[in-house]
Amino acid sequence: MGTRVAVLASGKGSNLQALLDDPDVRPWVALVVSDREDSGALVRAEDAGVAAIFLDPKAHPSRADFDRALLQVLELENIDVVVLAGFMRILSGEFVRAFEGRLLNIHPALLPAFPGAHSVRDALEWGAKVTGVTVHFVDEEVDHGPIVLQEAVPIEPGDDEHSLHERIHEVEHRLYPRAVKLLGEGRVRVEGRTVRVVES
């Protein structure tokens, strides 16, 4: 039996779709969880025959309670790796520690530049010439954990948020399945802040 991956998503689920479209990663995707009942990610999961769960934040009095409920779901499903794909909630330290070294996020910038929820807009407003995509481990600080993969995306004259987002998405959809595959195959080593990929 291969690695069991859970994908947490709040939005349309385009990065989830990239994982489902990858022939190596698809068999590992065992569960999709969303904090939004109308999330496109849940529809994509159901269409692919993957277990899909809506976990209602309003049903839990605090962030910690929500995260404990989420942990219970993941434990019941014997999840090995958790992948964040546009999941718009900050996870508690308790959750992060439970999946330390097995929890990935993707961010539309070259971290440590432009962290936070508005990184594409921030890069444009700063006048940056290059931004990009970062896949990183999640730690207890936002957009901070050790970097697994990065790829630059040039900012073109005349770019707006939409056009730049589109080109960033193209890179995300290529990079994320690769990172998940590396982790699932046990080919990622973390040494302090440095991530080394072991050749197969």
What's the CATH code of the domain at 29? 3.40.50.170
Q: Tell me what pLDDT residue 199 has.
A: 85
The mean predicted confidence, pLDDT, of the chain is 96
Q: Tell me what pLDDT residue 93 has.
A: 94
SS3 per residue for 143-183: CCCCEEEEEEEECCCCCCHHHHHHHHHHHHHHHHHHHHHHH
Same domain, 74 and 149: no
Q: Tell me what pLDDT residue 2 has.
A: 76
Burial (CB count within 10 angstroms: exposed 0-12, middle 13-18, buried 19+), residue 165? middle
Residue that terminates a domain, selected from 99, 124, 142: 99
Q: Tell me what pLDDT residue 1 has.
A: 53
Chain-centroid distance, C-alpha 84: 3
Give the mean model confidence (pLDDT) for residues 84-107.
95
Q: Give the total number of structural domains in the chain.
A: 2
Same domain, 135 and 120: yes
Same domain, 119 and 192: yes
Domain span at residue 37 reads 1-99
SS3 call for 102 = coil
Same domain, 90 and 111: no
**200, 199, 149: which is closest to 178 by C-alpha?**
149
Chain-centroid distance, C-alpha 47: 20
Give the mean model confidence (pLDDT) for residues 116-120.
95
The answer to whether residues 104 and 82 touch, using CB atoms and an 8 Å cutoff, is: yes
Same domain, 132 and 200: yes
Same domain, 124 and 196: yes
Same domain, 60 and 16: yes
For residues 86 and 172, what is the distance between their CA atoms, to the nearest angstrom?
11
Same domain, 1 and 93: yes
Give the mean model confidence (pLDDT) for residues 60-73.
95
Q: Is 107 a catalytic residue?
A: yes
Residue that terminates a domain, selected from 65, 99, 133: 99
Q: Which of 107, 118, 162, 165 is catalytic?
A: 107
Chain-centroid distance, C-alpha 100: 14
Same domain, 111 and 92: no
Same domain, 155 and 85: no
Which pLDDT band, with edges at 50, 70 and 90, does 151 fall under?
A: very high
Same domain, 166 and 119: yes
Q: Tell me what pLDDT residue 34 has.
A: 98
- Residue 112: cis peptide before it, omega within 30 degrees of 0: yes
Residue that terminates a domain, selected from 46, 75, 99: 99
Q: Tell me what pLDDT residue 20 has.
A: 98
Same domain, 114 and 187: yes
List all residues 6 or more positions away from 191 whose beta carbon is below 8 Å from its beta carbon: none
- Characterize the bridge pairing of strands 81-84 and 103-107: parallel
Give yes or no for residue 152 having a pLDDT over 60: yes
What percent of the chain is predicted at pLDDT more than 90?
96
